[in-house]
Structure 1
C-alpha cells in the first residue's frame, strides 16, 4: 500500500485531505510543519509528500531537498503562476491550488506515484508475491483491518475444538466462508461439510430435510430418506439463517444437540450421530428469544462460541483490497484484458456504504467487468452515483448543516467523513471572528466576491462581532 505524508498547518484541511486519501486506498500520516515532519517521520518511508507552500517556520518548499528521491506535491491557497513556477523550479513534481476537488487531487496523486516510483515502491514490488500470500487470511478470506485480524485469531482458536459456533453478521458479510474456514482448520477437515439455508426451505419440509423420514411416514414418502444431519455424520453441519427455523424444528434440533442423536420422521428408533454444529444468522437471537420467537434454551445451546463479523463499511482499507481482488478474479473468469479502477471508481467504492456488504461489492465488480469496454472501470459502470453518495454522506455525517451558523459537533476535531468541499464551510465558521473578509478570502485562495457567493450558497452569515469591528475601524479612519 502506498504511503503519503501530508504537511499542512490548518488541521481542518489536513484532516479532510487525509480522509480523502485514505478512502482512495492510501496510508496517510500528517504533520503541521516542516520541523514536525522532519522530526517525527522518515521521508524514505513514503511514496509521496503533499505539503502546503506557506507553513509556520520553514516553507513547504524546504521539503523538496530534504525528501531526496521522494516526490513532493506543493499545494497553496495563493493561486498564482509565480508561486507555481518557483515551486517547480525548486524541484516540486507538481503544484495544485486550494480549494481543490476530490477528483483533481486523487488524479494528481495517482499520476505522480505512477510516474515517480521510489526505492520503497521498488522494494514493495519485489516482495509483492510474499505479501499477497499473507493477505488471504484464513480460508481464503481477504482482510487486513484490525477487526478481520481479530476474526482470523478467533477462527484459529475455535476451529480445533468441537464446540458449537454461532456466527453473527449482516447479510452478505461472508458467514458461510467463515463456516468453511472453521471446518477446513478443524480435525474434521477431511470429512463432509453440509450447508443448509434454513430460510430457503419451506416450513413444512424443514424437519424432513434435516432429520430424514421412513417409508410411509407421510403421503408421498415412497422410500426412506436420510436427513442432512445424518449425512453430516463425522463432519460439520452449517445451519445458515437459523433464526428462520420454525419452532417445531427448533425443538427437534435442541434434542439433537443435547443427546447427539436424531430420529427420522415416522421412526421409533433413534440414531447416534457425531456432528460439529456451526450456526449463523443476521438476526438478533437474544431479542427473538425474549419475544418468544426463538427458543431460549436453544439459543443458549448454540451460543457457545460467538463470532461476530464486521460489515464491509467498517473494514476501512480492506474494501479497496477486496475490490481489486474481485476485479482480477472476474477478469480471469471472463477472459478479458487486464483492467483497473479509475480514481472516481476508487472514491465511489471507498465512500459508498455497501448495505449488501461483500456480496453487493462482488456483484457490482462483476457487472462492471461485463459492461466495460476499455481497460478502466469508472463509478458509473459500478452502478454508483458518486454525487448522490456524497450528498447522502454529508447530510448524515458531516458536522456542518447548511443554514446553521454553528457546527453540530463543538469539538475542533473534524467529523470522520469531512469532505474537501466542506472544509471551506468549517474554516469560515472557525476563523471569521478572528479574520477579516479579505484575510479569509486570501487564506482560502479565492476572491472576496467568491467568498460572498459561497456564504450565500452555504447559508453562512457573516459574523456580527467581526462586522461591527470593521465598521468601528472604518468610522475611526474617517474621523
Structure 2
C-alpha cells in the first residue's frame, strides 16, 4: 500500500483529499505546514502532495527535503509562472485547486508509477511525453487531415473549432510540424488557464517596474514564438484588452511590452482554438469582430467523438495499448460488453474522457479482460446530466450542502458551496481567481454540477 503525505493548511481540503485517497487504498498522513511535514520525515513516504502557499515556507521547500520522493504541487494560484517555477525547482507535476476526483487520482497514480520506474528507465522529455498521433479514418476526420495538409505550408492564420477533448492541440502540432516553421519553436498557451490580471504580461512581456511585483523585465510568449508558431487555446477566454494587443500583432507584426514605449517586430504564425462560437461572442461584445475576421482565414472543425462511430473502437484499442504499456499490464483486452458500452456511450468529454476511462479500466481490471464496471462509465453521471433550469432560484442547490459540516464536504461539495455563497457578490472572474481555476473551468464545473450562472446586470436590464 502506497504511503502519501498531504501538506495543506486548509482543513476542508486536507480532510477531503485524505478521504478520497483512502477510499482508493492509499495510506495517508496529514500536515498543515512545511515544518509539520518535516517532523513526519517526508522521505518515509512514496509521494508528497503539497500546497504551494503555506504558512511559513512554501510547499516547494519540500522538493529537496523529500528527495528522492516525488512531490506534487497544488495551488489556488493557477498561473503559468508558478507552474513553471514549481517544475523548474523539481516538482514532479502541478495541479490546480479545486480538482476533479478522477483527474487527481490519475495524476497520483502516474506519479507513483513514475517514481517506481525512475531507476529502471530514463524519463522522457516533455516533448516526447506529449507527442501523440491523430487517429481516425471516418469521413469527418479525412476532411480534417486534408485541411491540415493544405493549410500547413500556406503560413496563414488558422482557427480550430471543436468541443473540449477533441484534440485541438494535436491539430495545431500537426500543422506546425508540416509547415516551413517546423524547426522553429511551437509555443502553446491555454488562455483560460492564466488569470485575467496576468494574461497580457504572459503574452506580451513587461519591463522592470511596469507594475507591482515586476522586479525584472520579462519576455512574453508571443516574442518567444518569434520565427515559429504560437498556439492560443481557448482564445474565446482572452480579455478585450489582450485581444486589442493581439490584433496589432496580426496586423502589423509588432508587440510592445507592458511599461515600454518601444515596439518590436515579430514573425509569428498564429493558430487559435476554441470550443465557443466567436461570432456569437462578438455580437455580445465579448470578442472583437475584427479579431475574429483576422483569425478565421482558415477554419478547421473537429468532430466530437459521438459523431465518429467508425473510429471509436479503433481509437479505444490504440489508447488501451498505450495504457497497458504505461501500467505494465500488456495483454489486457476489452470484453464484448465493454466494447459495446464504449460504442454506445455519448462521450461528452470526447477523446480525453475515453483515454481516462481506459486508464481506469487498466488499473482496476482483474484477469485478462476489462469489463464495463472497470471503465466507470455512468450514463447518469454529472458530466451528462442537464443543468438546472434557469427558472430555479440561484440558491436552490444550496440545500444540498446546507447543514453539512466542513469536515464532511467533498471537493465538489466545497466548490458548489463556495460558488453558491459568493456568486451574488463576485463576478465570474473574481470567483475563478478565488477558487484558483480558469473561467473556462468554472463554467464547465457549473454545467457538470448544475449550478446556474447568475444573471448579469446587463441581462437584467434587458429583461
TM-score (norm 1): 0.52
1:270-419 equivalences in 2 (<5 Å): 270-385=263-378
Mapped to 2, the partners of 1:278 and 1:197 lie a distance apart of 12
Mapped to 2, the partners of 1:161 and 1:326 lie a distance apart of 32
Report what 1:260 is aligned to.
Answer: 253
1:223-242 equivalences in 2 (<5 Å): 223-242=216-235
Mapped to 2, the partners of 1:160 and 1:368 lie a distance apart of 40
- SS of the aligned residue for 1:239 comes to strand
Query: Structure 1 residue aligned with 2:139, among 131, 143, 146?
Result: 146
Find the structure with the greater CA-based Rg: 1
User: Are the aligned partners of 2:192 and 2:238 in contact in 1 as well (CA < 8 Å)?
Assistant: yes
Mapped to 2, the partners of 1:183 and 1:244 lie a distance apart of 23
Mapped to 2, the partners of 1:170 and 1:239 lie a distance apart of 15
- Please give the per-residue CA displacement for 1:301-331, whole angstroms capped at 9, x wherever unaligned: 1011000000000011200011000100010
Q: Residue 219 of structure 1: CA displacement?
A: 1.3
User: Are the aligned partners of 1:379 and 1:385 in contact in 2 as well (CA < 8 Å)?
Assistant: no
User: Are the aligned partners of 1:139 and 1:180 in contact in 2 as well (CA < 8 Å)?
Assistant: no
Mark the runs of 5 or more structure 2 residues left unpaired by the alignment: 1-130, 385-463
Number of aligned residue pairs: give it. 253
- SS of the aligned residue for 1:328 comes to helix
Q: Residue 250 of structure 1: CA displacement?
A: 0.6
User: Are the aligned partners of 2:321 and 2:330 in contact in 1 as well (CA < 8 Å)?
Assistant: no
User: Are the aligned partners of 1:260 and 1:273 in contact in 2 as well (CA < 8 Å)?
Assistant: yes
User: Are the aligned partners of 2:313 and 2:342 in contact in 1 as well (CA < 8 Å)?
Assistant: yes
Q: Residue 384 of structure 1: CA displacement?
A: 2.3
Report what 1:171 is aligned to.
Answer: 164
Report what 1:219 is aligned to.
Answer: 212
RMSD over equivalenced CA pairs, Å: 1.8
Mapped to 2, the partners of 1:258 and 1:264 lie a distance apart of 17
Q: Is residue 186 of structure 1 aligned with residue 206 of structure 2? A: no
Runs of 4 or more consecutive aligned structure 1 residues displaced over 6 Å after TM superposition: none
Report what 2:71 is aligned to.
Answer: none
User: Are the aligned partners of 1:345 and 1:378 in contact in 2 as well (CA < 8 Å)?
Assistant: yes
Mapped to 2, the partners of 1:351 and 1:164 lie a distance apart of 37
Q: Residue 285 of structure 1: CA displacement?
A: 0.4
Report what 2:390 is aligned to.
Answer: none
Mark the runs of 5 or more structure 1 residues left unpaired by the alignment: 1-137, 393-479
Mapped to 1, the partners of 2:282 and 2:321 lie a distance apart of 43
